[in-house]
Amino acid sequence: MKIASPRIIVRRSGPLSGSVQVPGAKNSVLKLMAASLLAEGEFVLTNVPAITDVHKMSDTLAALGVTSEWLGTHELRLVNGGNITTEVPYEKLDKMRASINVLGPLLTHYGSARINWPGGDDFGGRPIDLHLAGLAKMGANIEEGLYDIYAYADRLKGCNIELALPSVGATENLLTAAVYARGVTVIDNAAREPEVQDLCNMLVAMGADIEGIGTSRLVIHGRERGSLSGARHTVVPDRVQAATYMAAVAVAGGDITVRSARTEHMEALLNCYARMGVAVTPQGGSVRVTSHERLRAIDFVTEPYPGIATDYKPLLVAMLCVSRGEGTVTETLFPGRFKYIEEFRRLGASISIYGNKALVRGAYEMIGGEVRVPDIRAGAALVVAGLVASGETVVNDIHHIDRGYDDLVGKLSGLGADVTRV
């Protein structure tokens, strides 16, 4: 007998109230874990989100020779004992894009790496050409096969790299590769995201020499191979999870407190919320979010940090769906990231697509229905939309949500939302 996959059932909810804690960032912790390949010793990460992608990365690192254990609900200990293999089994890499980040550490520390082409969310092509071109410029020999990538070098050498676009993944991979490169590596047009800064700060704690953290020009002075050491580091809060709970109260109404939200990392997004009629008030290390009237439609464009992140876009689309008026969404980073629009249409949304632009016509409420989750952030946004839908919204394929959210259902329920996992 076939066992049904878990689903999330959402019913019209509101107003929301109470507080919710934001955990560490998915988009940071996976790269921090990969950095354990750069040094023998012990690494302790705190504020680690309890998500499936963390467990998958732990499995990947275990296959390479780095062991891990949970010291608490959100504290993870990693140990690199030096017995490292440089070839990652296919089954450990094909489901998660962040696993590409083991390439730089393996290559620079151990001289070679063989990995399979990475997977992850399906919202159009996200080529890793920038990763490979940068590594090749540092002296790596790269062989691209049908199923895998093999890179090797006696030792990487520092050089000047100007990225064609400020790719987060490429910046992080080249950054980790540069810490043991001979001489100085300069990365221009580097990504500036808080998660990139988080990785830089951990590498510095390990003994790396990095200048320009938080800017578009990173200068890395290479250390002798193997000279870095283990470290203890607290993962930066997840700004996308914070945005999710803010979006929930925006559409459902109410007054909530989001703890550990870093407003300085979300200024462009918070400006959008304010334009739509959501009040956001910093309170120490927390943010109070209130929404008591129907939202106003706005136009926005996704851009590299500090602009509107593409991860925010599905949440803003959910808000536009129940806003007054029409709003446009322009996607400049991943043109294919509109695959979830059809799922919103199943809930009664009026959305038209014109190339990389979507026109969203606001309605007073959504209509409950059955939807499927195409990627992590779209999945959370569909749950948010269900909070203002009549009847019952059934969200399927929620394993995507589990990759990036630790107990989304429990946290929304704690705010008063009618959300259950079955």
Q: Do domains 8-22+237-421 and 26-234 have the same CATH topology?
A: yes
- pLDDT above 70: residue 3: no
Q: What is the pLDDT of residue 5?
A: 81
Tell me the pLDDT band of 14, cut-offs 50, 70 and 90: confident
Q: What is the pLDDT of residue 358?
A: 96
Residue burial 81-97, b: 16+ Cβ < 10 Å; e: rest: eeebebebeeebbebbb
Pairing mode, strands 389-390 and 418-421: unpaired
pLDDT, average across residues 104-109: 98
pLDDT, average across residues 223-240: 98
Cα Rg for the chain, rounded, in angstroms? Answer: 21
- pLDDT above 80: residue 122: no
Pairing mode, strands 75-80 and 41-46: antiparallel
pLDDT tens digit sequence for 292-330: 999 999 999 999 999 999 999 999 999 999 999 999 999
Q: Which fold has domain 8-22+237-421?
A: UDP-n-acetylglucosamine1-carboxyvinyl-transferase; Chain (3.65.10)
Beta strands in 12-125 (DSSP E): 16-21, 41-46, 66-72, 75-80, 112-116
Domain limits, the chain: 8-22+237-421, 26-234
Q: Are 10 and 418 in contact (CB under 8 A)?
A: yes
Q: What is the pLDDT of residue 117?
A: 81
- pLDDT above 60: residue 21: yes
Q: Are 278 and 250 in contact (CB under 8 A)?
A: yes
- pLDDT above 60: residue 124: no
Q: Which fold has domain 26-234?
A: UDP-n-acetylglucosamine1-carboxyvinyl-transferase; Chain (3.65.10)
- pLDDT above 50: residue 379: yes
pLDDT tens digit sequence for 130-181: 999 999 999 999 999 988 899 999 999 999 999 999 999 999 999 999 999 9
Q: What is the pLDDT of residue 351?
A: 98
Q: What is the pLDDT of residue 331?
A: 94
- pLDDT above 90: residue 97: no
